[in-house]
Structure 1
Amino acid sequence: MTLLADTSPISVPARTVHRYVEVDGVEVFYRESLPERADAPVLLLLHGFPSASHQFRRLIDNLGRHYRLIAPDYPGFGHTRAPEHFTYSFDRLAHVVEGFTERLGLTRYAMYLFDFGAPVGFRLALRHPERVTGLVVQNGNAYLEGLSDTARDFIALTPETPGAESTILGLFTLAATRAQYEGGTTDPALVAPEGWLLDQHFLDQPGRKEAQLALAYDYKSNLAAYPAWQTWLRQHRPPTLITWGTGDPFFTESGARAYLRRDHPSPLLGSRRRPHPRRHRPAQPPHGGGLRTCRLPRLDWTLPVAPADFTGSRSGRLRVRPGGWPGGPGWASARRAPSRGVRGGG
């Protein structure tokens, strides 16, 4: 038997460490890549509900050799351990993440804001605008027009609303968690089950459902903060990449376009035309790509994204040459190429 040598390059995953650091009595768990360069740009990965830093594990594998990727678990999520009487609110989550960045000595970083990561990250940006080198926003809402009717009804719930607690607790079941991953996807077979099973494992830990219940009631504090976030965007105009799943039942595509229309006309916007699950996207990009982009007026632009091949939808395929994240040493240029029939999924 003759064996033919495969001369294609082999991508070696990044070395990643998994550690805890104490912040005001909270044992914060985090993942951190060990890049090849000591001065590699820093990207702070802020996860969504109901997940934790593990949702970024494949992103870290793929990019962590060239960038210092750091992903903490918030209190009430993942492996992070909070005191029994910790008060769960978005202000408190941001306070802990702020302390976390200071314990690690982070003075300049871009932020990946996904879902719950937006209210945490924008609070950090308001407190330390000088530290933020850029943003990647994925279904991270900052505008009232980005809220669906379902989201508005959910956010309006209070502890005094009849049936509110049972409605919210219904989100913390295995069926609901699985739906976060598979809902709207064209082929659920492409979605690995480990994501929702691990999320559910943490949701079922003692005290976790109570923590999530408190955060659900507190979500309306984010709506009150939207004007401050929008003012920050107008004043600072950080390099920004916005990508959005149009099948999101809570945060609609209008929220993505509001960034461009109202406060930050220069970022790049990408969205998927077909419905797809928004929760698992950062954690499990398919081989060869993962973000789907809409057709933009111009097909040649500068992208603040990491080295990868992103599979386009009807607009064809976007091949991205090595560059850098916002605030990094380089940028990636992208051009539309003919579609090769590769379909995204996860």
Structure 2
Amino acid sequence: MKRRDFLSLAGAALAASAVPPLSIAAAATEAARFRAARRFAELPFGRIAYAERGAGLKAALFLHGAPLNSFQWRGALDRLSSHRRCIAPDFMGLGYSEIPAGQSLAASAQADMLAALLDKLGAGTVDIVASDSGGAVAQLFLLRYPQRVNSLMLTNCDIEPHSPPAEIAPVLEMARNGTLADDTAKWLTDKALARSTFGAAVFHNPAQLTDEIIEYYAAPLVSSPLRRAQYHAFHNALSPNPLAGIESQLRRSSVPVKMVWGASDTIFTLADARYLDQLFPGSQGIRAIPEGKLFFQEEFPDIIAEEARKLWKV
């Protein structure tokens, strides 16, 4: 099942009903707690929203996928905050970051924004954990700021030969045509649609996308004409390939890298993980999650935490 079908999948409602959803009260409390703890950093790039858990000199940076935001990493943050100062920002053009019109939303600009955010927060070097388009930004950040990266955990994400993936071409076309925000806005009035299309395409258990979670992800993307335009601009910036030409540079990196991969993802398959495993001299190998789809990180935070601790040697 491909991401290009995420707005028109048929029959996935049966899959959504196969597993009981989280209790609405629990999900609402979880989202409310995350919202209440949200912080903002005033940067030249805009007002960047981020979550922070834990303290100490050692920091970890969590980079989310699209169309999600830092809420994707809530489970991992809770489990790893005793080992690292965990920082999870919302990318420019996604989530709750407030970005001025005209600001570039390209992956290279996102990498520079992260460096500025870390400077603002007084965080030096970091262990990076990344997903989806956040993985593309992580690779660029590694090349631009190699002295700031201790380790890299990549989960289902772009690689140079597969960026942007052909499977999301219809999504990119909607962004170019200015209709992606309208389709996303439908999730707010029809939560079942969100679960049976988007949810079924990228989650093992789409029923875990409660109404509260859908609201938390989708609402900011369509909250104003500017945010709608930036939602489109974020996707438009995914093409041409932002990773073109980086392979030879990544081959010279000595940073420890671990791939933790959802093996049921039809966008970024295990072949992409194997490419990264062969690419990085410091590769620590691949852990495949058989039932995991693109955004398995949200559903299996214990696995993320387990592999992070191994990579960080804590």
Q: TM-score, structure 1 length as denominator? A: 0.68
2:298 counterpart residue number: 283
2:44 pairs with 1:29:
no
**In structure 2, the residue corresponding to 1:267 is in which secondary structure?**
strand
Q: Is the aligned partner of 1:194 residue 2:212?
A: yes
Task: Check 1:78–1:47 CA distance in 2 against 1; reply closer, same or farther (3 A cut).
Answer: same
The Cα shift of 1:46 comes to 0.8
What is the distance in 2 between the residues matched to 1:120 and 1:90?
5
3-state SS of the aligned residue for 2:276?
Answer: helix
Asked if 1:87 is matched to 2:82, the reply is no
The residue type paired with residue 270 of structure 1 is R
Are 2:128 and 1:111 equivalent residues in the alignment? yes
- Tell me if the contact between 1:75 and 1:81 (Cα under 8 Å) persists in the aligned partners: yes
The Cα of 1:264 is off from its aligned counterpart by: 4.1
What is the letter of the counterpart of residue 215 of structure 1? F
Task: Name 2:248's counterpart in structure 1.
Answer: 231
What's 2:9 paired with? none
1:120 is matched by which residue type in structure 2? Answer: V
CA displacement at 1:124 relative to structure 2: 1.6
Question: What residue is the counterpart of 1:300 in the other structure?
Answer: none
Greater mean deviation of Cα atoms: 164-173 or 70-79:
164-173
Distance 1:147 1:225 in 2: 9
2-side partners of 1:85 and 1:147: how far apart? 22
Deviations 1:18-64 (A, max 9, x none): 321111051111111124xx33x311001111111111112111211
Go from structure 1 to structure 2 and tell me whether the alpha carbon gap of 1:172 and 1:119 turns closer, same or farther (over 3 Å shift): farther
Alignment partner of 1:142 out of 150, 153, 159: 159
Partner SS state of residue 47, structure 2: strand
Aligned residues between the structures: 275
Change (3 A) 1:185 1:130: closer
Structure-1 separation of matches of 2:202 and 2:87: 30
User: 1:259 Cα deviation (Å)?
Assistant: 0.9
Q: Residues 143-175 of structure 1: CA distance to partner in whole angstroms, max 9, x if unpaired?
A: 32577542356558895xxxx444686456417
Q: Is 2:237 the counterpart of 1:218?
A: yes
Shift of 1:210: 1.3
Residue in structure 1 matched with residue 200 of structure 2 by the alignment: 182
Q: Aligned in 2, Cα 1:195/1:67: closer, same or farther, shift over 3 Å?
A: same
- Which of 17, 33, 40 is residue 20 of structure 1 equivalent to? 40
Residue 49 of structure 1: aligned partner: 66
Asked whether the 8 Å contact 1:241–1:267 carries over to 2, the reply is yes
**AA partner of residue 237 (structure 1):** S
1:109-155 per-position Cα deviation (integer Å, ceiling 9, x unaligned): 11111112122222221211011111110112213257754235655
Structure 2: which 5+ runs fail to align?
A: 1-33
CA distance in 2, matches of 1:215, 1:240: 27
Larger-Rg structure: 1
Q: SS in structure 2 opposite 1:70? A: strand
CA distance in 2, matches of 1:214, 1:25: 15
User: What are the within-5 Å matches in structure 2 for residues 259-338 of structure 1?
Assistant: 259-264=276-281, 266-274=283-291, 276-279=292-295, 281-285=296-300, 289-290=302-303, 306=305, 308=306, 324=309, 326=311, 328=312, 330-331=313-314
The aligned counterpart of 1:69 is 86
TM-score normalised over the length of structure 2: 0.74
Per-residue CA deviations over 1:183-225 (Å, capped at 9, x if unaligned) read 365654455443323111112211222112112222124x252
Q: CA deviation at 1:90?
A: 2.3
Residue in 1 that maps onto 2:19:
none
Q: Distance in 2 between matches of 1:261 and 1:146?
A: 18
Q: 1:81 to 1:59 in 2, by over 3 A?
A: same
Identity %: 20
* Alignment partners' CA distance in 2, 1:68 and 1:246: 29
Q: Which moved more, 1:128-137 or 1:92-101?
A: 92-101
Is 1:205 the counterpart of 2:220 in the alignment? Answer: no
Q: Which structure exhibits the higher relative contact order, with contacts defined as CA atoms closer than 8 Å and separated by 6 or more residues?
A: 2
**Per residue, is there more helix in 1 or in 2?**
2
Report the aligned-residue RMSD: 3.2
CA contact (8 A) 2:184 2:218 kept: no
Instruction: Spell out, residue by residue over 1:269-308, the C-alpha distance to the aligned partner (whole angstroms, 9 max, x if none).
Output: 122334x4422x333437xx346xxxxxxxxxxxxxx4x4
